[in-house]
Structure 1
């Protein structure tokens, strides 16, 4: 089988990991999460990544999630997995991804250690060469590649994209304007809708959307308005929906994950506001604030296939 060496473009779906009352993964809820993203035409599924509490799931749980995601997606869209952390575990997860027919993986940072560029290169090289799947480099935390290191990595055809999660625009300009279309460029900043206007001129054609787990029509409407230079529409979405959610998200550490679950619960998806430590669930006050924003979202921007009205 020939693998298409191309990173996904458009709005990218990052499912959460739903837990039941016993603290185990709720597979039916996870399937529904993925189905919802597919029904709303997101261009790719990224399973068991940051939004999926990559840090808190076991290897056995990881394997089941990858198996389920590839099965539910059924080749309708590309499926990428999260691979990173301790190198030996990253290599196991890469093999699991290949076993279940994933299209590639998002390479998350190594565990804790802030290595030199040569060390980061060897870390990613080991993962890249372990399978023939596509690989996307994730710039964040303790793993930030400079131009020379990235140039060495793109000698491997498996490397198809770079996702930025740090917002260093000086570095982004150097990378995008030097490497250009050899890579696909993905905006992975926290609540990427907020920063996407600054990324599009540099060649970033896709972004990960947390809010697409519960209001995908808002993310889609925003992106289309942005691409078509409908400034007033973009401004209204910022003022009424995006910035208020971003404000709530910043109230507590870990809300980048738990606020997604709260939003999904509010609209009627079978997801409980339950997370694994060290992340904490959304507090009642902030939950109610999100309910108000979502009520406004559906009143101002009605959608035929929403599940329930908050």
Structure 2
């Protein structure tokens, strides 16, 4: 499992179809700026709106561009077991290096249900699995104790992406899960990534690194080298960007930012729609304010 910065890559569209030319350009931007992993088909990649055939294209292109320079982790979770299995098989077939499996949304399982779900999935694949906790979008919060039990019993459950912004939960993650050998904890929120990394976390699965990959990599390297003040300076230099990339539902603002930067069209698939005019203005001002454009 990678350590460092993984970019939760957007999926570019052009007139309703995949825009592979823009996707390749964005992937190259990431790899050229030393990103450690590309996370394909996560929340930021609009995974629920991507067909199986399109998933194949996106995974293969990410593998092609990344080569041996970055791992390709594929979002393969859904709210139903059968669909999740289908997505896992698709990821395996197309060369994924690992899987990002979100807690099943809408169903709101118990903690025991979550344990049984991940245990069942882990037995079906040899790929390493990242448990993805994002209660603001799923309606369920997987507890550190549950993750500990899953990882203890499933050798290929290797990491947690923690997108619960509660520092109490983040601290419990770090205290409990670091007892597990070779288990990694990734921040799922850019605005709290510095704090998690400085407290012993292993990386970030980042939305902001679509826009500022090198700066996110530098922040991680500074922390690894014990240069906390330098890392803190990067964190606060881009803190407004971290926050404003979530002023509308992700990935609406980051797609707006990338369109302003000239990487992609500002296009999403329904029910998501492009950023409002006020948001476009805020994103433009934010990019200018932190020197991105």
Counterpart Cα distance in 1 of 2:131 and 2:239: 28
Aligned pairs for 1:201-212 within 5 A: 201-212=198-209
- Normalising by structure 1, we get a TM-score of 0.83
SS of equivalent to 2:13: coil
Point out where structure 2 has 5 or more consecutive residues left out of the alignment.
none
Moved more, 30-39 or 212-221: 212-221
Pair 247,56 (structure 1): closer, same or farther in 2 beyond 3 Å: same
Contact 2:194 2:232 in 1 (8 A): no
CA-CA distance at 1:165 after TM superposition: 0.6
Q: RMSD in angstroms over aligned alpha carbons?
A: 2.2
Aligned pairs for 1:39-118 within 5 A: 39-85=32-78, 86-118=80-112
Equivalent position of 1:125 in the other structure: 119
Matched, 1:286 2:279: yes
1:160 paired residue among 158, 161, 166: 158
Contact 1:16 1:53 in 2 (8 A): yes
Matched, 1:187 2:187: yes
Matched, 1:263 2:257: yes
Counterpart Cα distance in 2 of 1:50 and 1:72: 21
- Normalising by structure 2, we get a TM-score of 0.88
Equivalent position of 2:197 in the other structure: 200
SS of equivalent to 2:266: coil
Aligned pairs for 1:236-251 within 5 A: 238=236, 241-251=237-247
Contact 1:95 1:130 in 2 (8 A): no
Point out where structure 1 has 5 or more consecutive residues left out of the alignment.
1-6, 300-309
Contact 1:9 1:206 in 2 (8 A): yes
CA-CA distance at 1:162 after TM superposition: 0.7
Counterpart Cα distance in 1 of 2:192 and 2:286: 20
CA-CA distance at 1:148 after TM superposition: 4.0
CA-CA distance at 1:158 after TM superposition: 0.6
